[in-house]
Amino acid sequence: MLKIKDLTVNVGTKEILKGLNLEVKAGEIHAIMGPNGAGKSTLSHVLSGKSGYEVTGGSITYNDKDLLEMPAEIRAREGVFLAFQYPVEIAGVTNVYLLKAALNAVRKHKGLSEVDAMDFLTLVKAKTKALDMDEKFLYRAVNEGFSGGEKKRNEILQMAMLEPQLCILDETDSGLDIDALRIVADGVNALRSGKRAFIMVTHYQRLLDYIKPDFVHVLADGKIVKSGGAELALEIEEKGYGWLEQA
Amino acid sequence: MSISWLDDFRQHAKTQFEQTGFPSNRLEDWRYTNVSAMAKKEFPLATMASSPVFEGSKGGSAFHFVLVDGFFNAELSNLPKTITVCSINDAIKNHADLLQSKFNQAITQTHGFIDFNTANFTDGLFIHIAENGVLDKPLQIIHVATQAAILPTRHVVILEKNAKATLIETFSSSENNAYLTNSVAEIFVGENADLTVYKVQQESETAYHFGGNYVQQADNARFTHHNFALGSVLARTDIVCDLATAAECELNGLYLGSQKQHLDNFTRIKHLQPNGISREFYKGILNDRARGVFQGRIVVAEDAQRTDSKMNNRNLLLSNEAEIDTKPQLEIYADDVKCAHGVTIGQLDEKSIFYLQSRGIDEATAKHILTFAFANEMVDKIAIPSLRESVFNLLLTQFPEGAER
């Protein structure tokens, strides 16, 4: 599904990613771990098409297409979803309107008709309930005045509605208490399928207790320095990142 | 028929206007707005139209007072039965004493547009709500322009003690004509009375517009004004309020300019007595080469202790060539007051645009959604559902896909 080859990325004149390689297949869950400043967020942002990053070398192919050629909205319509580390508050735009506009944009791209208003409401209410969110959230401005946990749940709600193929979770566990973490993890686990892949970018192992990865990669100084199975995360939890950076 | 007291006012204003003409932008209050191109058009004074092309709507949710080219049209109107509402020309005949006692009394500072209006007004609204009287439905003053002319109208609005009313004033045209609206309203809100005014200005794109509300608020009187400045090539709104003890004044506004529109909003709130409250919130959106002006002056007189006043003006510039001149001014002569003001000028937030794009929404639509949301905060303040919906739809025509119909 996703092939990242020798990716190098600059922010300004500073090289952040220095030859990153990663391959993700449908059905897999990959965790990208690493110390602060390793380039984790840069990787998430470059995948989602955020501006301000200059790709200086390498390639990213997604479903055999050149991902880097696509504007952010086309990536989203093609099934790439970024759950933000810091979801943006948008005053005056209701959650329900964003969800509907987004869903219809994706459907239109796929050649489907606009979603029926009643069907949409039934669907969104069911998904909201599944994430233990009050229906009132739907009619509030996007993320405005939401707690940290509510914002992250809202990201997962959007993900559940858009049914993407490649889900990128950027530090989704940050700012969550244990109850909120469990709800978010349940939401993600419910979306696991053989057709969908996940990339979880996280500093801590904690999230991986709830969402078990197939692969764990350690990103340090712009490169993946070690890859392994779920047990690698436990090793990192125990030993920290220092021993890997030296390696 | 000649009415001597009124003729005196008219003659005096005429002389004044002949000396000064329309305001020069050498005047401080007019420094951002140049009306010389408008003055050169030398529009003739409107005459009564023989057959208005406008069809009155006699819907049940509001009373209607229709002015076609500045002349009251009784056939198209639908007036309340139990409250004194008539054309100002009728009031000159039938409510002479009351009118004379109020006429020109709310205007504390004049300028060329007001002088021209006093000298030449063709018609207008007169409404008098007696003590404890309530206008049970909003009264909509509908201005329709069909002629390439100057349309001067004068309203006198009097609410006695404890009276309550809502007025809606809409300005539009049946043809895409160039013309000049010149509408002046003198408003007297009596003790503990409550008046809300909605102004929706959607003149033709080549029209010029001047509309002024001059408001005297007695003790505990409440005045709320919502100003939607959408149309015309050049428009100026004056909202001038004088507040007695514990009077409350709320001014909200949205100016939305594109192409080469020039939209000037001048407000002055004068707290003359203690314990007054004023809240002012204006938002501007300027696209293309449009220019917006916000002048908000709050004066707190020496006697106006414990005044509580807040003013906020927020502007969104959607193009590099758009311009906003914003000038909040506090003049405070009392020492025990709470006054705050703030101004922001900015562009759409890049992070918000990207967030929407990352959900599959293209950049142009994302910008419409965010712009609409910025504007809609003011539309949401409209308490009348049918009016809120129609202003909402007006916004949608400018920002399609900005929201769900």
Residue A197 sits in a domain whose CATH number is 3.40.50.300
Tens digit of each residue's pLDDT (9 = 90 or more) over B326-354: 999 999 999 999 999 999 999 999 999 99
Tens digit of each residue's pLDDT (9 = 90 or more) over B194-251: 999 999 999 999 999 999 999 999 999 999 999 999 999 999 999 999 999 999 999 9
Closest CA relative to residue A27, chosen from A155, A206, A149, A194: A194
Pairwise CB contact (< 8 Å): A76 & B360: yes
Pairwise CB contact (< 8 Å): B359 & A84: no
Whether B403 has its CB under 8 Å from any CB of chain A: the answer is yes
Considering the domain architecture, whether residues B232 and B366 belong to the same structural domain is answered as: no
Q: Domain for residue B295, yes or no? A: no
Indicate whether B102 pLDDT > 90: yes
Pairwise CB contact (< 8 Å): A73 & B363: yes
Pairwise CB contact (< 8 Å): A92 & B362: no
Of A31-45, A196-210, B37-51, give the lowest mean pLDDT range.
Answer: B37-51
Q: Grade residue B177 by pLDDT with cuts at 50, 70 and 90.
A: confident
Indicate whether B153 pLDDT > 90: yes
Average pLDDT over residues B90-95: 96
What local confidence, expressed as pLDDT, does residue A173 receive? Answer: 86
Q: Domain for residue B276, yes or no? A: no
User: Contact B139/B80 with Cβ under 8 angstroms?
Assistant: yes
Pairwise CB contact (< 8 Å): A90 & B355: yes
Number of domain units in chain B = 2
Pairwise CB contact (< 8 Å): B360 & A109: yes
The average confidence (pLDDT) of chain B is: 94
Chain B CB contacts of A49 under 8 Å are 357-358
Chain A CB contacts of B349 under 8 Å are 88
Considering the domain architecture, whether residues B238 and B358 belong to the same structural domain is answered as: no
Q: Which residues of B71-82 are buried (b: 16+ CB within 10 A; e: fewer)?
A: bbbeebbbbbee
Q: Grade residue A176 by pLDDT with cuts at 50, 70 and 90.
A: confident
For the entire predicted model, the pTM comes to 0.91
Pairwise CB contact (< 8 Å): A162 & B360: yes
Conformation bin of residue B306: beta by default, left when phi > 0, alpha when psi is -120 to 50: left
Considering the domain architecture, whether residues B168 and B51 belong to the same structural domain is answered as: yes
Pairwise CB contact (< 8 Å): B377 & A73: no
Average pLDDT over residues B5-12: 96
Domain containing B56: what range?
4-244
- Terminal Cα-to-Cα distance of chain B (whole angstroms): 52
How many whole angstroms separate alpha carbon A216 and alpha carbon A229?
Answer: 5
Q: Grade residue B50 by pLDDT with cuts at 50, 70 and 90.
A: low
CB nearest A73 (choices: B349, B357, B374): B357
Beta bridge partners of B291: B262, B323
The alpha carbon of residue A164 is apart from the nearest alpha carbon of chain B, in Å, by: 10
What local confidence, expressed as pLDDT, does residue B58 receive? Answer: 53
Q: Grade residue B59 by pLDDT with cuts at 50, 70 and 90.
A: low
Q: ipTM for the complex?
A: 0.95
Instruction: Give the whole-number percent of chain A exceeding pLDDT 90.
Output: 77
Q: Domain for residue B34, yes or no? A: yes
The average confidence (pLDDT) of chain A is: 92
How many whole angstroms separate alpha carbon B376 and alpha carbon B336?
Answer: 35
User: Contact A50/B352 with Cβ under 8 angstroms?
Assistant: no
Average pLDDT over residues A158-186: 91
Of B244, B263, B280, which closes a domain? Answer: B244
What local confidence, expressed as pLDDT, does residue A245 receive? Answer: 61
Average pLDDT over residues A152-157: 93
Indicate whether B143 pLDDT > 90: yes
Number of domain units in chain A = 1
Whether B353 has its CB under 8 Å from any CB of chain A: the answer is no
Of A2-6, A150-154, B127-131, B279-283, give the lowest mean pLDDT range.
Answer: A150-154
Pairwise CB contact (< 8 Å): A73 & B351: no
Q: Domain for residue B77, yes or no? A: yes
Q: In the sheet that B150-159 helps form, which strands lie side by side, from edge to edge?
A: B84-87, B125-129, B150-159, B180-189, B208-217, B234-243, B262-271, B291-300, B323-332
Interface of A with B (CB under 8 A): 48-51, 71-73, 75-77, 81-82, 84, 87-88, 90-93, 97-98, 100-102, 105-106, 109, 141-142, 158, 162
Pairwise CB contact (< 8 Å): A72 & B358: yes
Residues 41-80 (B) with a CB less than 8 A from some CB of A: none
Average pLDDT over residues A77-84: 96
Pairwise CB contact (< 8 Å): B359 & A158: yes
Tens digit of each residue's pLDDT (9 = 90 or more) over B314-329: 999 999 999 999 999 9
Q: Domain for residue B317, yes or no? A: no
Chain B CB contacts of A90 under 8 Å are 352, 355-356, 370, 373
Of B189, B217, B244, which closes a domain? Answer: B244
Whether B405 has its CB under 8 Å from any CB of chain A: the answer is no
Q: How many CB pairs lie under 8 A apart between chains A and B?
A: 79
Q: Grade residue A237 by pLDDT with cuts at 50, 70 and 90.
A: confident
What local confidence, expressed as pLDDT, does residue B1 receive? Answer: 52
The alpha carbon of residue A2 is apart from the nearest alpha carbon of chain B, in Å, by: 18
Of A10-19, A84-93, A203-212, give the lowest mean pLDDT range.
Answer: A203-212
Domain containing A183: what range?
2-246
Average pLDDT over residues B50-64: 67
Closest CA relative to residue B128, chosen from B150, B153, B104, B97: B97
Of B244, B278, B294, which closes a domain? Answer: B244
Pairwise CB contact (< 8 Å): B377 & A91: yes
